[in-house]
């Protein structure tokens, strides 16, 4: 931010600078001859100002910069929201007999995060005059559709579709893998069925986290991220096209059961909502993650805030 300086302090600063330069030139002439000036050069320098004041141009705020950007220039990949708690499967939780403290902490974090996330979603959607729908029923339907579209487009090599339904980081990774395929290679993918296990409430798709928050320094902007556990049986294969008629030759294929934690994201920029996109894959919270300032229970609010700030800045004490 530019600042104004009155005439009197500027004159005092010039006099102090002149006195300092005079004393420095006296000492410097006895030590370093290459810095000495001739009398003629000294007379020429007398008429020159001793100090310069350069005003720095005012920097536009984040709100102004984002308002001047087009929709295609706005960032899509802002990362997984810090502090996202993903409860592991029952078999992967700490034993209540061997690690009772960690097990109880997991259960407490699950209850606390569920309550905080739902409250935060309501505030994000309904406060400050907003009337955004909660979209609780559509989460699983959107995830089912966009999950299949992403893998189908990746198998067919449709880079445009991949970029339309995936965030920047995931889209760049998938497109790079598509471009690295050998010439003439054909990839196939299919979802044979959803595995309706207890881990997904016998539906094949279960919401394990749903968070929404405002973006700092940008008016009426925010992000919502939903993490879903998807259990399914998938078939993948590779084949080489025949040179004559283009039909695929015999290739290799396999069928396997998959468990994925898919993150879908919806951004809101300056009051306008975008469509759902796939951010990528997440991993469940582990015992090692419990020492993070986002989950630790033995830290004061001040210590937690400082640790979270250091983590955001990439520094450690």
Cβ atoms of 265 and 280 within 8 Å: the answer is no
Encoded tokens for 84: 């996202």
Encoded tokens for 282: 């997440």
The residue among 77, 50, 190, 315 whose CA lies nearest residue 307 is 315
The residue among 263, 300, 297, 265 whose CA lies nearest residue 280 is 263
- DSSP 8-state symbol, 116: H
Beta-bridge partners for 194: 232
pLDDT value for 76: 81
Encoded tokens for 38: 């001739």
CB atoms within 10 A of CB 148: 14
**Burial (Cβ within 10 Å: 0-12, 13-18, ≥19) of residue 316:** exposed
**Burial (Cβ within 10 Å: 0-12, 13-18, ≥19) of residue 114:** middle
Cβ atoms of 199 and 216 within 8 Å: the answer is no
> How far, in Å, are 169, 196, 208, 218 from residue 89 at the CA level?
27, 14, 11, 37
> How far, in Å, are 35, 41, 47, 49, 87 from residue 44 at the CA level?
16, 5, 7, 11, 77
C-alpha span between 197 and 306 (Å, rounded): 41
Query: How many Cα neighbours within 13 Å face the side chain of 26?
Result: 5
Rg of the chain over all Cα atoms, to the nearest angstrom: 30
pLDDT value for 15: 43
Distance of CA 17 to the CA centre of its chain: 48
Q: What domains appear along the chain, each with residue ranges and CATH number?
A: 92-312 (3.10.450.240)
pTM: 0.74
pLDDT value for 312: 54
Cβ atoms of 172 and 165 within 8 Å: the answer is no
What sign does the dihedral 283-288-293-298 (CA atoms) show?
Answer: positive
Give the residue ranges of the chain where pLDDT is below 50: 1-39, 52, 316
228-254 confidence digits (pLDDT tens) = 999 999 999 999 876 566 565 666 789
pLDDT value for 149: 98
CB atoms within 10 A of CB 159: 16
C-alpha span between 230 and 260 (Å, rounded): 5
DSSP per-residue string spanning 225-238 = EEEEEEEEEEEEEE
- DSSP 8-state symbol, 298: S
pLDDT value for 250: 64
pLDDT value for 78: 87
């Amino acid at each position: 931010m530019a600042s104004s300086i009155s005439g009197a302090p500027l004159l005092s600063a010039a006099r102090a600078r002149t006195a300092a330069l005079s004393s420095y030139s006296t000492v410097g002439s006895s030590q370093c001859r290459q810095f000495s000036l001739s009398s003629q050069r000294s007379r020429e320098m007398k008429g020159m100002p001793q100090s310069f004041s350069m005003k720095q141009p005012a920097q536009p705020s984040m709100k102004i910069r984002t308002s001047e950007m087009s929709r295609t220039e706005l960032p899509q990949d802002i990362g997984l929201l810090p502090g996202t708690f993903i409860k592991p499967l029952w078999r992967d939780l700490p034993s209540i007999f061997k690690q009772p403290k960690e097990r109880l902490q997991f259960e407490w974090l699950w209850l606390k995060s569920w309550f905080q996330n739902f409250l935060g979603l309501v505030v994000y959607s309904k406060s400050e005059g907003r009337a955004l729908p909660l979209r609780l029923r559509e989460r699983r339907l959107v995830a089912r559709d966009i999950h299949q579209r992403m893998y189908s487009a990746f198998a067919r090599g449709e880079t445009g579709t991949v970029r339309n339904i995936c965030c920047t980081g995931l889209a760049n990774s998938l497109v790079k893998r598509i471009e690295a395929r050998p010439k003439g290679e054909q990839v196939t993918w299919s979802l044979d069925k959803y595995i309706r296990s207890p881990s997904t409430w016998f539906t094949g798709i279960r919401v394990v986290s749903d968070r929404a928050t405002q973006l700092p320094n940008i008016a009426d902007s925010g992000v919502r991220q939903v993490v879903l556990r998807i259990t399914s049986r998938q078939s993948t294969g590779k084949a080489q096209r025949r040179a004559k008629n283009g039909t695929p030759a015999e290739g290799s294929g396999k069928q396997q059961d998959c468990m994925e934690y898919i993150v879908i994201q919806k951004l809101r920029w300056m009051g306008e909502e975008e469509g759902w996109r796939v951010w990528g894959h997440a991993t469940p919270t582990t015992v090692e993650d419990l020492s993070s300032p986002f989950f630790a229970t033995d830290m004061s609010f001040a210590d937690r805030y400082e640790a979270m700030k250091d983590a955001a800045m990439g520094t450690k004490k």
